[in-house]
Chain A
Amino acid sequence: MMDKLKLAVFELTDCGGCALNILFLYEKLFDLLEFYEITEFHMATSLSEGSHYDVALVTGTVSSQRDLALLKEARNHSDYLIALGTCATHGSVQASVEGSIREKLKRVYGDEGNPMRALDSKPVVEYVAVDFALPGCPYDKNEVYQVLIDIAKGIEPVKKDYPVCVECKLNEYECVLVKKGLPCLGPITYGGCNAACIRSGLGCIGCRGPLPGEVNPASEYEILKDLGYDDDYIIRKFKTFARWEP
């Protein structure tokens, strides 16, 4: 039997959901354990026997010096690093709060300075090169399952190349944008969630961040304006999970 791959899960600043989501694979975790041993995961093991990891999953944003140090440690000691969840791939909610970190600290803590050595929240991908980015708030746990088994078998995981609309149509959900005028960001949002929100009759809120490439946020903006949504609302909607810098 070949040696198992060493898997690490690192958590930076986030709600904890993305790390926990791995445990929610329940019995499917045992499939992963056929190929991996977990050598670092504060939610699942007291082991912390660093130095080298074959695969590292990093969740959360870089929001403090501690996060940055941990991220560098993870990057330097792993062969394959995956930015997991929208915090890590796009910055998510905390990174979308605008303004400088100084002003924000002052608003909350007054003149206490910066005791926790906070940084302006940014996604992992802005600090280090990653081997794979898997967005979602939280990401679809089956996706990380597929990616980890692919890697274990020596297959390069395939990046999704389509927006939420594609899976929405595969499921034949009624289009809430066209038929109900709901503000749906599906046409410009990275697919892979299987159109979970539209299944519930809601518009996509863009939690997986923008699909890179040829999608057209400017046109989406005009469409929402035509439907009667105002500038401020649309911009806030666009910026909830990612800082659009078109």
Chain B
Amino acid sequence: MRYIKLPSENFEKFFNSLKAWGSIYAPVKRGSIYSFQEVQRAEEVALDYNRTMLPPKKFFVRPRDEILRLKNGRWENGTDAEPIVLFGLHSCDIHGLKILDKVYLDEPVDPYYKARREKTFIVGISCMPDEYCFCKSLGTHFAMDGFDLFLHELPDGWLVRIGSVRGHEIVWENGELFEEVTDEDLKHFKEFEERRANAFQKEIPQEGLADMLDLAYNSPVWKEYAEICLACGNCNMVCPTCRCYEVCDKWISAYDAVRERRYDSCFMENHGLVAGGHNFRPTRLDRFRHRYYCKSYFDPSSGYNCVGCGRCDEFCPAKIEHVKVLEEVRGSLR
């Protein structure tokens, strides 16, 4: 992987050069949350954000997406895919997209996801964990791929890792903005990473998690938490790896309709409902437990479906903490 340096004074020029690729979307502050929004100027970007409420998934699988349109009795493809730049993704979210890739790009390929993914230029950015982050213990705190460029904060600029051919091209076209990396820069980079590694306040002991969950299906801890869980689905809606959606048709006039897909949550009644009226997960207990198994268990060989971003904790009205639940479940086995 090639490393180069972007001095602070060239940051804005570099930012503007990305517009050649497409519209730029970056984290901005809205009230007390952050959200990926279209930005025109570099100063609008909240470079030191911790996490957005909705993850960058929303650009590939949209919260609500008109996938087909019924016009004059025929269904037409309804979605579009414009080239965009996603600026400022954290490592956990890049890992989140890699997990979604496995779902949406494996056969059968989701054409909407694929088209948008291919047209999106991804710029990662380094971060400092807050009290919710636990990506380090899941190994998702550093991205080796899944981005075009990755910016690491230095005292006087950015160390840039180039992660793709497209990334190389952008750097090549704007060669005058970059410098060679010095030993001093590398030292600062390492110092930053060390400071960061020591700043994590939460970790999930991944060791034996799958075996543990194997034995823990009937743990009383699930029941205790199902008593306080609201079954509101907020944890699913904000999760970068949740991939469930619902498809519904909507009339826009007497004879024309759109087919829309929208995020779904396994806390909802219809999620486990099958033909004949049987429901696989009729109770809150079933649904609460299911979410944990989906995140940490079903296919450990391909990695966990949780990247430790902390969104589910930050936005749970009942203040249920992901790591704490799993630790208590583990504890109940002893």
Contacts and interface: CB of A to CB of B under 8 A. Distances in A.
Interface residues of A, number: 38
Interface string B43-73: 0000000000110001000011000000000
A145 B250 CA distance: 10
A216 interface: yes
Contact of A213 (B227, B269, B317): B269
Interface in B134-152: none
Contacts of B53: 169, 172, 174-175
Contacts of A175: 33, 53, 234, 315, 317
Q: Which of A34, A172, A214 has the most B CB atoms < 10 Å from its CB?
A: A214
A223 B31 contact: no
Interface stretch (A8-16, A104-112, A156-164, A232-240): A156-164
A31 B284 CA distance: 40
B302 interface: no
A146 B58 CA distance: 26
A32 B53 CA distance: 39
B251 A188 contact: no
Q: How large is the interface on B (under 10, 10 to 19, 20 to 34, 35 or more residues)?
A: 35 or more
Q: Which of B54, B254, B262 has the most A CB atoms < 10 Å from its CB?
A: B254
A163 B107 CA distance: 33
B265 interface: yes
B254 A35 contact: yes
B230 A170 contact: no
B323 interface: no
A220 interface: yes
A38 to B, nearest CB: 15
A32 B318 CA distance: 43
A213 B32 CA distance: 32
Interface string B299-334: 000000000000000111110000000000000000
A37 B45 CA distance: 55
A178 B284 contact: no
B228 interface: yes
A158 B53 CA distance: 29
B254 A179 contact: no
A161 B270 contact: yes
A66 B243 CA distance: 52
A218 B230 CA distance: 9
B314 A166 contact: no
B267 interface: yes
Nearest to B230: A187
A216 B230 contact: yes
Contact of A220 (B33, B230, B268): B230
A177 B33 CA distance: 13
B94 interface: no
Given A169-B54, A213-B269, A179 B233 contact: no
A216 B231 contact: yes
Contact of B232 (A30, A161, A180, A187): A187
B254 A31 contact: yes
A146 B251 contact: yes
Nearest to B248: A158
A218 B250 CA distance: 35
B72 to A, nearest CB: 15
Contacts of B5: none
A172 B263 CA distance: 12
A163 B265 CA distance: 11
A79 interface: no
Nearest to A217: B230
B283 interface: yes
Contact of B283 (A163, A178, A214, A215): A214
A162 B265 contact: yes
B60 to A, nearest CB: 15
Contacts of B231: 163, 213-216
Contacts of B251: 31, 145-146, 149-150
A149 B254 contact: yes
B268 A219 contact: no
B315 A219 contact: no
A219 B33 contact: no
Contact of A174 (B31, B234, B255, B316): B31
B269 A169 contact: no
Contacts of B95: none
9 contacts: A163-B233, A165-B234, A169-B233, A170-B237, A171-B63, A175-B315, A213-B269, A215-B230, A220-B317
Given A166-B263, A174-B33, A219-B227, 12 more contacts: A146-B251, A163-B231, A169-B53, A169-B238, A172-B63, A175-B33, A178-B317, A187-B230, A213-B231, A213-B269, A219-B229, A220-B230
Q: Give 3 nearest A-B pairs by CB, closest first.
A: A169-B237, A187-B232, A31-B254
Interface of B: 30-33, 35, 53-54, 58, 63-64, 227-234, 237-238, 248, 250-251, 253-255, 262-263, 265, 267-270, 283-284, 287, 314-318
